[in-house]
């Protein structure tokens, strides 16, 4: 198939309430590399097997949650096409100039029916430490921590799931790969722009713009076991696993980073103690 | 990305000189399932994780080799588009009516510059034993033997590699993902129609229409090790591995099925003993 | 170290209430091989990587549970020494003549303070299908099902844990490798006659002679995952896992075979539904 | 079995010609931890899963090779017994006082028929970072590099293999687990003091006191693959693998550390270039 349209998840900007705690978790435990800290305080991270300059952006804030998630499209022309199609669909498109994030080109930013800010971009600087394509070594820098390979997807909670599915499938050309349907419409939608099981998931919830988890890819069930060892060793709260999903057969374990141990109402959907203060991180094969 | 154009490898018809020996190998060792034996003697096989009715077709013949390999396209309309583009490129297209293989729709058949017969199709009956999409079990029938999950790609040898690359990239919209270049042009071309490292490979060789190997996917390095155990246990000639490819980082082991122990000139390119009599089978993660 | 005294677990005789259901589970799912069915109805099984003729003996009975577990000692002379020591400790020893089980030599049989019948033997016929020691193949018969390699240990529940620990350590020369201690004495004792984490475990419980589980060895965490797939696929009740034990670091998953779906009071200690009707089977690396 | 006599390999002192290069290899690549550097220049290392203070001792020297290998016995009384038995066998025993190596008790030192210095000890200080036995974490310090768990065995080359086998089996109570026999006697002997496939190996060679490799344990085939990735990534010369041994079924890969890139005649037996300058390191499951 020709590589056109939306290709894959590119970046996600996450609010954390304690940047040092979060970096300890994302860098030392999850195994991301710190790319840069910019003057505005944002920290840019990438997984060892990603081509792009960065994928995860952490921003210190009062309230945890997701600022936005960006998807890469194949070309600047595709960007123009999507800008037109999104507006035709009736959603306002904000265009953000290149450079608002280091290395990132111009992007489209818009709010989907669940209340989440989604972005599209086509240009991102390549990392100097990414996969090699000429006389390649297996990696440049030895993987560490949970050895996650890539930012895989995010799981978002909010209202209007039927509408968000319509938007992603009709306007952004995603496929609805899995769904939990109820008499009231779709309760859970798993949407893919590739041949992955999903590139983004939406779960029904009354409050808009809630962030459930960011997921990273791992290489094998063995790595899931090693990640679980790290979760146990450092007393990282465990949400689930190691197990295999019934749907998608993905082998996984999910941990919870407490990014705001003492905060009040927070960004996490589905928090079990009424005071969501953490962002679960899913690891999967 | 919208799923359009050529999607993936679909089937391959392989000539074997002893069908019983070949079936022992493909079914008991490789772990394929026998789908049907038809009146014309052809035997249809599939791997446990494939949706389609079959992927591997074995045909008893004097001389081992590949009859043809077929790629699935997204729609009948795509088939028409490709028919026109292939003819415009100057290659003759034969249209084969639905049903020449059980379950397979109409297909385009044509000879590419290396001398190999390549086909396109858009309709194939689904297997009754394929992956489940509603309340899915992990598998319907327990994997056995080397537990290969899917037909992954084929590796073909012949002349005119530059031309075959031009054809696959310009007419069929493949990407050239890897290449070994020489002053005389491309010596080895790895072409992808997806986000896999390659969906077909061509290696330069004077003789046209030579077949080097068919490759199957495995789930993990652990499975590669178990496949190597089976190769060792049953004295299946070993070509390479277990190892990891420098390019693509694919973890692999390659065996050799002696489909024609006593035959003379044969279908295998690169046979080390001057009398190629076997089809290597590559297993990879 | 010189191999003297008690070497390892050898066999276990288990009562099942439906032999056909049990065989389906032990042979098709767990992956044991059926060695023989004898005139008295007992069925003898072995795991693929065991030297001995058999390790698991199933006996149809009204009530599930364990008849006895036998440990191999290094020599007939050791058997005589242990006979004397056990009697000196004050426990009666019954000597069972060779041949009561096919291939098994004479054995000592005695009841330990928890009420369980334990046996010692030094001679067992070797399997014709066991590991090879001359020009060895990796296995003779391809592993199937959960691919368990060996009978590892049994977990037994009953009273008088302190006394059973004294007996195993002072008389049989086992080591107490782990223990859960309470003001009332030892609540859980893990005893080893080798360099394994444990070769038998005793857990405190008022009723004597209760059988909690038989455990089998697996080769790796990958195999634990595949066993869990089989547990899920065939709806085998799951007790725990996949996980890693905090103590011993053993990677494991535990299933439950319902050997007596309709029975009343049964052999399983710790059944969650008040009507223990099943024997959990632990799989571990 | 009661734990008596020789229990397991304990330490090995290795001569290296460039200590900095060797430490880079043993610590950063193999994954050992540096325990101490002493005034006499020796560096003490241990693997993350070992109880003892250290297992590998590196000593800078003109010529690479092994100074000695020490085996742990169960008690001081056993040490006395072995001292007597070794002398009765006709081999001189040197007694080295406690403290010659930090943390190590008194030891017996003697030269076996192949010309190698072998030692026995019963007391070694425990590491503060070893496996935990009370409320244990899986590890104290996260494994790194090749994540080797333990010093497993050494492989030594020299003459008089029949005599060394006689000595190890009759005097030290080892078992001969594997042997390659020739009309001239045993060419390769694999000897075990435990239930491992071997705790030391001797291979016939005219020159006495040659050192072939030190081997470390890994947890799984997956770890063998990751070790091979590290070997490839850092251009560590590869001797063999990843593969599985025909004998013992051990899954392994073997690398070569060039400890003396420019040296002349060296300590390695079997060097392929006539100028052995490196110590192969075997990794195995």
Per-position pLDDT tens, chain D of length 285: 566 899 999 999 999 999 999 999 999 999 999 999 999 999 999 999 999 999 999 999 999 999 999 999 999 999 999 999 999 999 999 999 999 999 999 999 999 999 999 999 999 999 999 988 777 888 998 999 999 999 999 999 999 999 999 999 999 999 998 888 889 899 999 999 987 888 999 999 999 999 999 999 998 888 988 998 998 899 888 877 788 877 677 777 766 443 322 222 233 332 222 222 345 566 666
Question: What are the pLDDT digits (tens) for B80-120?
Answer: 999 999 999 999 999 999 999 999 999 999 999 999 999 99
User: So what's the pLDDT on residue B88?
Assistant: 98
Q: How far lies B9's CA from each of B33, B71, B112, in Å?
A: 18, 4, 16
Beta strand pairing status for C65-73 and C6-16? Answer: antiparallel
Q: What residue of A is the nearest CA neighbor of B223?
A: A220
Measure the CA angle with vertex C175, ends C174 and C181; round to 5°: 125
B229 and C144 in contact by Cβ < 8 A?
no
Question: Average per-residue pLDDT in chain B?
Answer: 87
Which of A231, A242, A285 to probe by mutation at the C interface, max C CB count within 10 Å? Answer: A242
Q: Is C16 helix (H, G, I), strand (E, B) or coil?
A: strand
Q: Which of residues 138-157 of C touch B (CB under 8 A)?
A: 138-139, 142, 144
Q: Which residue of C has its CA nearest to B223?
A: C222
Indicate whether B21 pLDDT > 90: yes
Q: Is C193 on the interface with D (CB under 8 A)?
A: yes
Instruction: Measure B135 CA to nearest chain A CA, in Å.
Output: 8
Q: Which residues contact D144 (CB under 8 A, 6 or more apart)?
A: A144, D28, D31
Pairwise CB contact (< 8 Å): D1 & C222 = no
| Shortest alpha-carbon distance between residue B50 and chain C (Å) | 18
C226, C228, C234, C285: best to mutate for the B interface, most B CBs within 10 A: C226
Average pLDDT over residues C134-141: 84
Who has greater pLDDT, B259 or D78? Answer: D78
Confidence at residue C75, expressed as pLDDT on a 0 to 100 scale: 95
Could you tell me the pLDDT band of residue B243, with boundaries at 50, 70 and 90? confident
pLDDT of A273 higher than 60: no
Amino acid A269: pLDDT:
30
Between B161 and C266, the more confident residue is B161
pLDDT value for C273: 27
User: For residue A230, which residues of chain D lie inside 8 Å, CB to CB?
Assistant: 142
**Could you tell me which chain A residue has the CA closest to the CA of B219?**
A220
- The C-alpha of A278 sits at a distance from chain B's nearest C-alpha, in angstroms, of 31
Q: Does B77 touch chain C (CB under 8 A)?
A: no
pLDDT confidence of residue B181: 87
Contact D225 B221 (CB under 8 A): yes
Contact C139 B233 (CB under 8 A): yes
H/E run at residue D11:
strand D6-16
Q: Chain A contact for B284, CB < 8 A?
A: no
**Angle value at C-alpha D178, between D174 and D179, nearest 5 degrees:** 105
The full 3-state SS of chain B, as one line of letters, equals CCCCCEEEEEEEEEEECCHHHHHHHHHHHCCCEEEEECCCCCEEEECCCCCECCCEEEEECCCCEEEEEEEEECCHHHHHHHHHHHHHHCCCCEEECCCCCCCECCEEEEECCCCCEEEEECCECECCCCCCCCCCCCCCCCCCCCCCCEEEEEEEEECCHHHHHHHHHHHCCCEEEEEEEECCEEEEEEEECCCCCCCEEEEECCCCCEEEEEEEECCCHHHHHHHHHHHHHCCCCEEEEEEECCCCCCEEEEEEEECCCCCCCCCECCCCCCCCCEEEEEEEC
**CA B153/CA B85 separation, integer angstroms:** 23
Is residue C61 over pLDDT 70?
Answer: yes
Distances (CA, A) of B65 to B43, B69, B214, B239, D19: 15, 11, 11, 18, 56
- The dihedral region occupied by B209, where left means phi > 0, alpha psi between -120 and 50, and beta the remainder, is left
Partner D contacted by C249 (CB < 8 A): yes
ipTM, 2 dp: 0.84
Minimal Cα–Cα distance from D229 to chain B, Å?
Answer: 8
pLDDT in tens, C202-252: 999 999 999 999 999 998 888 999 998 999 899 888 878 788 877 677 777
The backbone torsions φ and ψ at residue A222, rounded to the nearest 5 degrees and listed phi first, read -60, -45
Instruction: Say what the alpha-carbon torsion angle B199, B205, B207, B212 is, to the nearest 10 degrees.
Output: -40
Asked whether residue B122 carries a pLDDT value surpassing 90, the answer given is yes
Average pLDDT of span C240-269: 55
Q: Is B221 on the interface with A (CB under 8 A)?
A: yes
How many C-beta atoms surround the C-beta of residue B103 within 10 A?
18
Distance (Å, whole) CA A157 – CA B16: 55
Burial C243-256 (b: 16+ CB within 10 A, else e): bbbebbbbbbbbbb
> Contact A217/A253 with Cβ under 8 angstroms?
no
Element (H, E) at C86: helix C76-89
| B244 contacts in chain D (CB < 8 Å) | 225, 228-229, 232
C1 touches chain D (CB under 8 A): yes
Tell me the nearest-neighbour CA distance from D190 into chain B, angstroms: 23
Q: How far is D218 from chain A (nearest CA, A)?
A: 13
Chain D contact for B225 (CB, 8 A cutoff) = yes
Tell me which DSSP letter residue C189 carries: E
Residue B186 or C263, more confident: B186
Lowest mean pLDDT among A75-79, B194-198, C59-63, D165-169: B194-198
> How confident is residue C2, by pLDDT bands cut at 50, 70 and 90?
low
Is this model's pTM higher than 0.90 or not?
Answer: no
D175 close to C (CB below 8 A): yes
Contacts of D194 in chain C (CB under 8 A): 1, 195
Q: Identify the pLDDT of residue C195.
A: 79
Residue pairs between chains A and B whose CB atoms are closer than 8 Å: 49
Least confident window among A84-88, A157-161, C264-268:
C264-268
Q: To 5 degrees, how large is the angle CA D84–CA D89–CA D93?
A: 55
Q: What are the start-end ranges of the E strands in chain A?
A: 6-16, 33-37, 43-46, 56-60, 65-73, 94-96, 107-111, 117-121, 150-158, 175-182, 185-192, 200-204, 210-217, 238-244, 251-258, 278-284
pLDDT in tens, A237-271: 887 878 887 767 777 776 654 332 222 223 333 22
User: What mean pLDDT comes out for the span A154-173?
Assistant: 97
Does residue A28 carry a pLDDT above 60? yes
Interface test with C, best of A227, A231, A240, A243 (most C CBs within 10 A): A243
CA pair distance D156, D135, nearest whole angstrom: 40
Give the Cα separation of D16 and D26 in Å (integer): 11
């Amino acid at each position: 198939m020709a590589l056109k349209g939306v290709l894959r998840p590119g970046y996600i900007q996450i609010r954390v309430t304690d940047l040092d705690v979060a970096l300890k978790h994302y860098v030392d435990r999850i195994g991301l590399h710190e790319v840069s800290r910019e003057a505005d305080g944002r920290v840019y991270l990438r997984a060892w097997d990603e081509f792009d300059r960065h994928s995860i952006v952490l921003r210190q804030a009062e309230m945890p949650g997701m600022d936005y998630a960006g998807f890469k499209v194949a070309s600047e022309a595709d960007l123009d096409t999507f800008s037109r199609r999104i507006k035709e669909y009736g959603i306002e498109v904000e265009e953000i100039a290149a450079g608002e994030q280091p290395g990132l080109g111009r992007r489209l930013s818009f709010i989907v029916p669940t209340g989440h800010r989604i972005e599209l971009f086509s240009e991102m600087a390549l990392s100097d430490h990414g996969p090699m394509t000429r006389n390649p070594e297996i990696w440049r820098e030895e993987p560490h921590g949970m050895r996650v390979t890539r930012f895989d997807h995010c799981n978002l909670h909010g209202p209007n799931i039927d509408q968000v599915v319509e938007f992603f499938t009709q306007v952004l050309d995603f496929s609805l790969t899995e769904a939990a349907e109820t008499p009231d419409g779709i309760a859970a939608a798993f949407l893919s722009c590739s041949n992955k099981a999903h590139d983004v998931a939406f779960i029904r919830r009354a409050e808009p713009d809630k962030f459930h988890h960011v997921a990273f890819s791992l290489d094998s069930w063995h790595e899931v076991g090693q990640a679980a060892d790290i979760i146990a060793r450092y007393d990282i709260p465990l949400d689930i696993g190691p197990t295999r999903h019934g749907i998608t057969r993905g082998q996984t374990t999910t941990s919870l980073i407490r990014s705001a141990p003492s905060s009040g109402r927070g960004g996490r959907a589905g928090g079990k103690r009424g005071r969501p203060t953490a962002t679960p991180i899913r690891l999967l094969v």
